[in-house]
Amino acid sequence: VQVAESGGGLVQTGGSLRLSCSASGFSFDDYSMVWFRQIPGGEREGISCINWKGITPQYVDSVKGRFNISRDNAKSTLYLQMNSLDSEDTGTYYCAVIRTAYCVDEWWDPRRVKYWGQGTQVTVSS
């Protein structure tokens, strides 16, 4: 199993980034996918989830209206479009496969994760 994020980097406040997550070694379209974020000194938290069909995405309040999660099952790839970035978005972003096909059962809990990516760093500077 391989889960690999890309697209992180340094961006100015108000800017945008698009993260990608390429997956292989398992049946990608059997699972919901979640983006987690870990800020410096903080815990890893789920910020957005998308179900196996790629519909009815879920977001935490801190990113709602600014981030957009999507997936392409034909390419086994997950995306996170991040807009209007600010310093509070700085952190390491992880792609994760959770154990259900739908975004239920506290999808934001790291204990629900079946597979993790290695993470990609996002730094927002003013």
Phi, psi of 14 (to 5 degrees): 90, -10
Can you list the positions of beta strands (E) in the chain?
A: 2-6, 9-12, 17-24, 33-38, 44-50, 58-59, 67-72, 77-82, 91-98, 113-116, 120-125
- The residue-averaged pLDDT of 22-35 equals 97
Lowest mean per-residue pLDDT among 12-16, 39-43, 66-70, 85-89: 39-43
**What number of other Cβ atoms are within 10 A of residue 20's Cβ?**
17
The answer to whether the CB of 21 falls within 8 A of the CB of 117 is yes
Q: What is the pLDDT of residues 73-123, one digit of tens each?
A: 999 999 999 999 999 999 999 999 999 999 988 999 999 999 999 999 999
pLDDT given for residue 34 in this prediction: 98
- C-alpha 115, offset from chain centre: 13
Q: Place 45 in a pLDDT band, splitting at 50, 70 and 90.
A: very high
**Separation CA 89–CA 122 (nearest Å):** 8
pLDDT given for residue 40 in this prediction: 87
Token couple for 53 = 């069909």
Q: How many helices (H) and strands (E) does the chain have?
A: 0, 11
pLDDT given for residue 112 in this prediction: 95
Average per-residue pLDDT in the chain? 97
Terminal Cα distance for the chain, rounded: 38
Q: What is the pLDDT of residues 47-86, one digit of tens each?
A: 999 999 999 999 999 999 999 999 999 999 999 999 999 9
